[in-house]
Amino acid sequence: MNSSRIGRSRTNNDGRRIERRTFLSVVGAGGAALLTRGLNAEQRTLARKPNVIIIVADDLGYADVGFNGCTDIPTPNLDSLAQNGVRFAEGYVTCPICSPSRAGLLTGRYQQRFGHEFNPSLETEAEAFGMPLDQITIAAMLKNAEYATGMVGKWHLGLKPEYHPLRRGFQEFYGFLQGAHSYVNLRKTDRYPILRGTEPIDEPEYLTDAFTREAVAFIDRHSTDPFFLYLTYNAVHTPMQAPQKYLDRFPNIAQTKRRTYAAMLSAMDDGIGAVLRKLRDNGLDQDTMIFFFSDNGGPIYVNSSSNLPLNGAKGTVYEGGIRVPFLFQWQRRLPRGTVYKNPVSTLDIFATVAAAAGAEVPRDRKMDGVNLMPYLLGWKRTQPHEILFWRVGDMNAVRKGNWKLARKGNALVFLFDLATDMGEQKNLAKERPDILRELNAAFKAWDAELVPPLWFPAPPKPAPSAPAP
């Protein structure tokens, strides 16, 4: 790699040259304070902790972004993240439904370890539901590491005051607390209003545009501090609503729902572009870690999304429910335009960010993610995860290497070789009983570590999907 790709170098007070990329790779968790003592002001600025932005789409289809081959909905700003960073070809979430997926992301732990296994029903959401208070979020971790922390968008981890984002490590919040929300005609008198902090407000803008506005303003307010922004669009989740200015971009999409879906996605892509421009304008684009992914696969018959060539959809443990568009850009550190082909998980974001920020990872509990940087930079040649697990009630799945077990109860058991069958069309359970036994045993061992769910709503009804093999 030539020096222009690596970045600038500086000299410390005793004349030794310090190259920023090398500096950061040496620092690791907890070492920044020691290594920066001998640096002057300019060098301290160069060695500043990276900003962190996590952008989450809601119910986005695997095939509905340009970097995964979409042709009818342009996503130029998302594509630029892929061009300037790493695309995870096999990036997974921890659950095929919204709330548990977010709980796993924010804690770096399989959410079943603390009973957050299901989406709540409306009754549970209002009364008892919430991510347990003993769980440490990535926001709390970064706040303790002297980051400014802010959230814009959908929460879906509890309605009661003790579960509010401002009580879970976020210093600023703009958004809504429940699992879905209208995009238009938003009034503070609504049952579930838009909140600034804890105060209901009227919001005249289309909600996706409002979230973008607030995200850009947060970056402006904290451009001189290390910051963490959790930007969780509710696009492209129902209700299917889009202003005419976005609908007008897609006159050639005849199907009404697909056209609205395209307009909603285009609005979100515009918003991500505005965030990227604001980073560039403030000179922060090189030193900001940006993650993008969908919280689960697309519910294909609900919002007209597409997960092709994957089988399944939101609410299933087939690939279409749990493998999602997933990007990571950090221009100062990562090679550009890379496709990383080993399985990774949103669990890994916590550990990756902690290492880069020099933040303290909880040591009193099992953490399930890994720091991805050594793998992405080629320092480690093994896979980040030997095995990955999923469980939602009586649905569960295991992936080890290219083998995947998917099961619903005891009646439907499937074994796939994802190396040759990405679309999960050929069930090899009878042909490879040895692999089936191995994955079953692994799941049972993992399952024994988990706790019972904290609430028991009716299991989510999967969206119709491609038939199982």
Radius of gyration of the chain (CA): 22
What is the crossing angle of helices 256-281 and 76-83, to 10°?
50
> What residues contact 213, with CB distance under 8 A and at least 6 apart?
205
**CA–CA gap between residue 394 and residue 312 (Å, rounded):** 16
> What residues contact 468, with CB distance under 8 A and at least 6 apart?
311, 318, 412, 414, 424, 427
- Tell me the residue type at 351: A
- Is the Cβ–Cβ distance between 143 and 49 less than 8 Å? no
Nearest CA-CA partner of 272 in 209, 218, 180, 228:
209
Q: Two tokens at 246? A: 């976005």
Q: Two tokens at 416? A: 């796939």
Is 156 marked active-site? yes
Cis peptide before 239 (omega within 30 of 0): yes
Residue 400: enclosing H or E segment and its boundaries?
Answer: strand 395-400
- DSSP structural state of residue 158: B
Which of 70, 95, 116, 156 is an active site residue?
156
What SS3 class is residue 103? helix
Which of 98, 164, 181, 237 is an active site residue?
98
Catalytic center residues: 98, 156
